[in-house]
Amino acid sequence: METFNARTLEDMSAAAKPPNHYFRRFGDLFLAMIRTGYHKWGFVIYRCAYGDDDLWNRYMAQLKENIHSELVRAERAEILEKYLQWDVIEDRDSLDNASKADVRRHFAGWVSEHIANQPCESVKTPLIAERIARFRYCLYVDQKCLDTLEQFQNSEGDFVGQIAQYSRPPMVIVLVDSQWTPSRKGVPKKDRGFPPIEGTDKRNVGWLYTRALDLTSFYDELSQNYGVVDFDDFYARPPIISPGFSGLSMPE
2: how many CB neighbours lie within 10 A of its CB?
14
CA distance linking residue 207 with residue 236, whole number of Å: 9
Q: With bands split at pLDDT 50, 70 and 90, how would you rate the model's confidence at 106?
A: very high
Say what the pLDDT of residue 226 is.
67
**pLDDT at 239 exceeding the cut of 90:** yes
**The overall pTM is greater than 0.85:** yes
Q: Up-side HSE of residue 189: CA atoms within 13 Å toward CB?
A: 0
pLDDT at 31 over 90: no
pLDDT at 59 exceeding the cut of 90: yes
CA dihedral 17, 28, 61, 207 (to 10 degrees): -140
On the CB side of 208, CA atoms within 13 Å amount to 22
Q: Which residue has the higher pLDDT, 231 or 151?
A: 151
Predicted pLDDT of residue 215: 96
Check whether 60 has a pLDDT greater than 90: yes
- Number of other CB atoms surrounding residue 180 within 10 Å: 17
Beta bridge partners, 210, equal: 173, 242
Order of strands, sheet of 241-242, starting from the edge strand that comes earlier in the sequence? 88-89, 44-47, 137-141, 172-177, 207-211, 241-242
Calculate what percentage of the chain has a pLDDT beyond 70: 83
pLDDT of residue 249: 94
Q: What is the mean pLDDT of residues 71-79?
A: 91
Residue 103's pLDDT is: 99
Closest CA to 141 of 110, 108, 178, 174: 174
Tell me the per-residue pLDDT of 130-145, one tens digit each, with 9 for 90 and over: 789 999 999 999 999 9
Q: What's residue 24's pLDDT?
A: 61
The pLDDT of residue 143 = 98
pLDDT for residue 120: 57
pLDDT at 67 over 80: yes
pLDDT at 21 over 50: no
Q: What is the per-residue pLDDT for 93?
A: 98
Cβ atoms within 10 Å, residue 32: 26
